[in-house]
Structure 1
């Protein structure tokens, strides 16, 4: 089975072939360990996250699709699990800035796709908001306009502008909470802490 491609192994896995699962595990656990350890700096936490990643693969074997290599998919699941553990305070990292720096260090072509998906999710959530709320948020976060400038442009009180931005952020936080995407989390963090 070692000579089979990831795509062929995933097909066998979707049929419940445990040997295909073992082959994929043997093929990628070392690379995944190195990747996750760079975030956690903790061997036990790293092993737990890798176990969760492969458990996720087994539980979702019917829906996983890759063109060539499974590794980018595994790294995405692993990064999401790192961020989930970080949010739950299971992993003690040196700080959010260092986590963000580490994540940005490992950008690759698949990250562009993930970023686009994250942006699409945020845009979708924004489209559900009423015009004033969406406009206040976009003018503030995407066009760097002050509360006063937005107030004049939209002919709303400054307090109404503040309330709309605050409510938009609250809704996006809820959206983040229901998503495990690291990129979505980072995108929202950027928007929340933007001056």
Structure 2
């Protein structure tokens, strides 16, 4: 019974701006509120932020509160409301972050597609400039997925000649791509 009267007296003093009364309320209820909020948030820093906001809001609105006995139910309700508000803010922030990530992914995909198209066009133009046998060996190997033996038979070339043509084609493409990148 004594504690309930004390809360009423302390709230009356707080109404008048008594910072010492406020500190007494803070010291009395900080730990139970901390335990309550931490059990919900599971985050120490977020819990401290919420409690700071709860007690700041309590001080700012001190003249509007009326209690029957204990301040704990009021402070619990304020802390829970602060948790709800924090969740709402985080949802908005998270939705915005997800939207930004999606935009970045789309942008990166568009850039990658553009780069791939440009690179493909460069490769195609370099293939066109290759000697006929080299071009045919490379295209049959990479585009038609034929083996060295199949290419050699079809073009009536030795397998070593086909290997040499493909190796030279790849060397030219690598060189051409390096020139583009620099």
Normalized per residue, which structure has more helix?
2
Give the TM-score taking structure 1 as reference length. Answer: 0.44
Greater C-alpha radius of gyration: 2
Give the TM-score taking structure 2 as reference length. Answer: 0.47
